[in-house]
Amino acid sequence: MKIFWTRHAEDRQKGWEKRLGITRQEVEETLRNPEQIMAGDEDTLIAQSRGGDGLLRVPFANVEGGRKVLTLYWTSKVGKYRKEN
């Protein structure tokens, strides 16, 4: 699967890498093999995976040939966003 990055998403990833060490590879792995995919606003989806004491959330859009990363963020509010089966 091809992953396309918006400029905004690239900037956010660099900021989170400086702050918490979240790498581009971790973001792409979350998109390729998320623990969960949640519905987002309008036509967006949110791939998410837990790590450490938080949750990496990656809003994306399905596009022809892959997924387009719209933004990303880390949250410690796992219970707020994660749905248990």
Domains and CATH numbers, the chain: 2-78 (3.30.2310)
| 3-state class (DSSP) for residue 37 | strand
Structure tokens at 3: 């992953």
pLDDT, residue 85, reads 58
pLDDT in tens, 67-76: 999 999 999 9
pLDDT in tens, 9-58: 999 999 999 999 999 999 999 999 999 999 888 889 999 999 878 999 99
